[in-house]
Amino acid sequence: MKMHASQIHPLPERKRVMTEFMKSIKKGVAWLPNTLVLQKEGQTVWVDINSRVVEWGGSGKVVQTIFRDITYRVQLENTLKQQAERERLVRGIAQNIRESLNLEEILNTTVNKVREFLQTERVIIHRFKTGESGQIVAESIADGWGSSLDWAIGHPWITENQLSNSPQLRQICAIEDIYTSGLEQSHIELLETFEIRAMLVMPILTGEYPSLLWGLLIAHQCSGVRKWEQLEINLLQELAMQLALGIQQSQLYQQLKEANVELHQLATVDCLTQIANRRRFDEYLHQEWWRLSHEQKPLSLILCDIDFFKLYNDACGHQAGDRCLKQVAAAIRAVLKHSADLVARYGGEEFAIILPNTDAITALSIAETIRSTIKDMRIVHRGLAPDRYITLSLGTTTVVPGPKISPERLISAADRALYSAKEQGRDRVGTIEC
């Protein structure tokens, strides 16, 4: 088969090759490395081309061209380059997982990096949930293609009652063309909704054996059919393993956060009344003292005590006493309207109320409201107390925190005000300047 020199090169290469051939005629030599050449069967091979002008038969000159097949070398170089890129991508995502405990950030970084590497139109992470097929929780998508993010959809291999046990879901699935893959028509129609023509599906398995099917890492080719290379399959498999580690790490961190919240709750909340305990009172008083000393705003404190509580406890028993304490604590908390206000159990039957940004007149009004609220509850006092119902005595004081006064002095002033209320007959509010 006779072919012109320009015809043995694919169109993108022809201009460059012919330019170099013209140079060889003028200069006597030309060198074209890494050049594509068409074979007779229509396939292409990579070659290095060496051209030079030589004497021919003593009467003329010809251009002698030598082709050296370097296809294997080019393929090997491309394979090594892809492997290096894959390792770089896996290392980058693994580092991101180590540095971040935010699961959303980990998932979004993964889909973006995978789509960039595979040069595909869409990459998603599909998370399974108990009692339902699942939801797409992360997506990276090329311009011009529809989003599937937040869709709650079933996967083609999920059937009712087989959410986590389906063996197909636990295997790698590479579909080159949805129309020739043997899928059911309903599954094809579902994939057509998202313009999917080919896809690569990788399970994300977490935990020790037996592993839990957490979700799927899926690459979508929307523009046409695609033969998935083994290198690409290996990449997604490695990334799914890294994702599983990141998911477990994030879940452990979340469990730790919840445990710490619970521990803090146990450490700062009175177990009987479910209001702040003495430790939390001390912490919060010093916190607000420091803040209000900088803002030069008032801080009020109320100390209150259930009148004749020991007599009530002795007459009615400890269980009734505990119920009384819980009722009083809940009633005081209901009176407080500002989120910054804090009621704490200060002692056995004593309560303390911290009122930031509250002046003396307002504090006195709040104390009086608390006193009347408790009395109106009409908790019968069965002990030998002068009053028929449970009552409170309260002491209030107010100060603008500063360097010449301490929180302890505020507490002492409120205690003296409380003592004054008791001395004057109980069931009343005492107040004193700090």
Q: What residue segments make up the domains of the chain, in order of their start?
A: 5-69, 80-254, 278-431
Can you give the pLDDT at residue 132? 52
Within its chain, how far is the Cα of 3 from the centroid? 62
Can you give the pLDDT at residue 5? 57
For domain 80-254, the question of CATH label 3.30.450.40 is answered with yes
Question: What is the pTM (predicted TM-score) of this model?
Answer: 0.56
With cut-offs at 50, 70 and 90, classify the pLDDT of residue 79: confident
Can you give the pLDDT at residue 333? 96
In this structure, CATH architecture of domain 5-69: 2-Layer Sandwich (3.30)
Q: If you average pLDDT over residues 331-358, what whole number do you get?
A: 96
Question: In CATH, which of 3.30.70.270, 3.40.640.10, 3.40.50.720, 3.90.950.10 is domain 278-431?
Answer: 3.30.70.270
Can you give the pLDDT at residue 418? 97
Can you give the pLDDT at residue 84? 82
**How far apart are alpha carbons 174 and 103 in whole angstroms?**
26
With cut-offs at 50, 70 and 90, classify the pLDDT of residue 62: low
Q: Is the pLDDT of residue 78 over 50?
A: yes
Same topology for domains 5-69 and 80-254, yes or no? Answer: yes
Between 131 and 389, name the one with better pLDDT: 389
Q: If you average pLDDT over residues 356-360, what whole number do you get?
A: 97
Q: If you average pLDDT over residues 178-183, what whole number do you get?
A: 90
Can you give the pLDDT at residue 174? 92
- Look over the chain and give the mean of its residue pLDDT values, rounded to a whole number: 86
Between 19 and 426, name the one with better pLDDT: 426
Q: Are 309 and 422 in contact (CB under 8 A)?
A: no
Percent of the chain at pLDDT > 70 equals 89
Between 413 and 84, name the one with better pLDDT: 413
Can you give the pLDDT at residue 406? 94
Q: Is the pLDDT of residue 57 over 70?
A: no
Q: Is the pLDDT of residue 159 over 80?
A: no
Percent of the chain at pLDDT > 90 equals 44
With cut-offs at 50, 70 and 90, classify the pLDDT of residue 154: low
Q: Please name every residue paired with 230 in a beta bridge, in sequence order, or none if there are none.
A: none
Q: Is the pLDDT of residue 121 over 90?
A: yes
Can you give the pLDDT at residue 61? 67
Can you give the pLDDT at residue 371? 97
Can you give the pLDDT at residue 161? 35
Least confident of 61-70, 336-345, 422-431: 61-70
Can you give the pLDDT at residue 157? 46
